[in-house]
Homo-oligomer: A and B are copies of this chain.
Amino acid sequence: MAGSTFGTHFKITTWGESHGKGIGVVVDGCPAGLPLDETDIQKFLDRRKPGQSRYSTQRKEADAIQILSGVFEGKTTGTPISLMVPNQDQNSRDYGDIASCYRPGHADFTFDRKYGFRDYRGGGRSSGRETIGRVAGGAIAAKILGQLGISFLTYTRSIGPVSISKSSEELLSEITSGTAAGILSNPLYMPEEPACKKAQSFLETCMKNKDSAGGVIECIITGVPAGIGEPVFDKLDANLAKAIFSIGAVKGFEIGDGFAAAAAAGSENNDNFEMKDKKPVLSTNHAGGILGGISNGMPIVFRAAVKPTPSIAAMQNTVNKEGETIEISIHGRHDPVIVPRAVVVVEAMAALALLDLAMEHMGSQIKFLEGFGRNLE
């Protein structure tokens, strides 16, 4: 399995390191005929681009996407779409100190133990730049899902101890009713002005303390019809869990009421059914849009816990190559919080997981198979 490929039908394979020639992704299984150009992908990448606020790394990267294959006359051809972002600001400084010790909270130690040595330049493959491939691939998945009427609303629910107070339902209804213009137009992607301000001042304190913060990202997916997801191992929630947990700093994932459901009574947690417009629908959404691993037609709501950035300037203990316990303070271009930039990564991975299962479902419906000769003409 090797590990750099995600998906079965809509499949991405990513490559690249922080300080190599670039970062890329090959998207295989994209249906033919989809209008696609660089701007579709660039607008996703721009959401994770460094240097957009004082809370992100000051590394200078345009992160300009190049389409190398798979698009002809403005449309996807059905063959692999190769995408690449060249690295620009590889900062040729001396890595001596980092090269000779393990940074706490980083993958330095485990890569070394797994492979016998490691690319110490900026974390190599375990750098956050690895997510560029995910976001580029996810942008295409999201475009297809958008054509199917499926939308994503992804935002920062909390940073450190500061959390927004509105529920996902309230946010969704503000968006839907149009009274929410601009709720995401702040540097933290936090859709509640007072919380956002408080979070910013919290981050200033962090930075002063040479420390860092984490947070929680919430994602709402609307427009998903009932029926997507496979029972047993490829449940929609299981594949979302893997997709989100494969993002570097994620330490928790929950869907619907999540951990709170474990403390609730069955009578509180069950979503009852009722008739609406002559169709059966769910009255509430404690389940977060998924029952038995299959979408139930309600919005899919999940949250991811993101750990604080491990690179901090505060003193920490570690060991060096000579086998000595030493102290280090990590300087350089690090985000005091990665949550805002990770919002689009979460959205991209969710789009990839959902589209893959949607395609699985479409390929296994007997009514399509029965018409398939005609459909090929």
Determine if B24 and A68 form an interchain contact, defined as CB atoms under 8 angstroms apart.
Answer: yes
Which residue of B is nearest A84, CB measured?
Answer: B68
Question: B275 touching A319 by the CB < 8 A rule?
Answer: yes
A298-315 interface code vs B (CB 8 A; 1 in, 0 out): 000000011111111010
A2-B230, A125-B231, A266-B308 as given contacts; A110 in contact with B292, CB under 8 Å: yes
In the complex with contacts A113-B227, A212-B266, A232-B246, A292-B29 CB distance below 8 A = no
Cβ of A175 within 8 Å of any chain B Cβ, yes or no, is no
A226 adjacent to chain B (CB < 8 Å): yes
Cβ–Cβ contact A232 & B318, under 8 A:
no
Q: Is the CB of B262 within 8 A of A251?
A: yes
* Chain B, residue nearest A205 (CB): B265
A109 touches B291 (CB 8 A): yes
Q: Taking A4-B232, A8-B1 as contacts, is the C-beta distance between A376 and B107 under 8 angstroms?
A: no
Is A82 an interface residue when CB atoms closer than 8 A count as contact? yes
Chain B residues within an 8 Å CB radius of A271: 104-105
Report the contact-size class of chain A (Cβ under 8 Å from the partner). 35 or more
Binds B, one of A30-38, A46-54, A57-65, A190-198: A30-38
B235 touches A245 (CB 8 A): yes
Does A269 belong to the interface (CB within 8 Å)? yes
Which residue, A31, A213, A297, has most C-beta atoms of chain B within 10 A? A31
CB-CB under 8 A from A310, the residues of chain B are 266, 269-270
Q: How many angstroms from the CA of A114 to the CA of B236 in the assembled complex?
A: 13
Can you list 26 contacts pairing A with B, beta carbon distance less than 8 Å? Answer: A1-B8, A5-B28, A24-B82, A72-B121, A105-B266, A105-B287, A106-B291, A107-B293, A109-B273, A109-B291, A113-B297, A144-B369, A148-B372, A209-B267, A212-B265, A213-B266, A235-B245, A252-B255, A253-B254, A266-B309, A269-B308, A270-B312, A273-B318, A274-B319, A280-B323, A362-B372
The 7 closest A-B pairs by CB, nearest first: A107-B292, A363-B363, A3-B230, A2-B29, A212-B266, A252-B254, A110-B294
Tell me how far the C-beta of A271 lies from the nearest C-beta in chain B, rounded to whole angstroms. Answer: 6
Asked whether, in the complex, the Cβ of B32 is within 8 Å of the Cβ of A115, the reply is yes
Q: Is the Cβ of A368 less than 8 Å from the Cβ of B376?
A: no
Tell me which residues across on chain B come within 8 A of A126, comparing CB atoms: 231, 292
Which B residues are in CB contact (< 8 Å) with A149? 373
Nearest chain B CB to A157's CB is how many angstroms away?
A: 9
A residues 229-273 in Cβ contact with B at 8 Å: 229-235, 237-246, 248, 250-259, 261-273
